[in-house]
Amino acid sequence: MKDDPATQLADIARQLSLLAEAAKALSQTPLVELSGQLLPAGREKPDEPKTPLPNSVN
């Protein structure tokens, strides 16, 4: 039965387990590999677009 509380708890436990595994994997992944999806520590906003602006000096 889908509405059985025990079944619902088992589903939640399974989802939490998957979430914990994902969080552990993310914590071991350097931020550079995440393609800017997460902000690096100490930054308040994501990097500006990589397209150079006209008349910009690098």
Within 13 A of 58's CA, how many CA atoms are on the CB side? 5
Q: Is 47 exposed, middle or buried (0-12, 13-18, 19+ CB in 10 A)?
A: exposed
DSSP of 18-44, one letter per residue?
HHHHHHHHHHTS-GGGGTTSSPPTT-S
Please indicate, yes or no, if residue 49 is contained in any of the structural domains: no
Q: How many domains does the chain have?
A: 1
Please indicate, yes or no, if residue 1 is contained in any of the structural domains: no
* pTM: predicted TM-score of the whole model, two decimal places: 0.43
Q: What would the pLDDT profile of 8-43 be if each residue is shown by its tens digit?
A: 999 999 999 999 998 888 887 665 655 555 555 555
**Which residue range forms the structural domain that includes residue 26?**
7-35
Please indicate, yes or no, if residue 18 is contained in any of the structural domains: yes
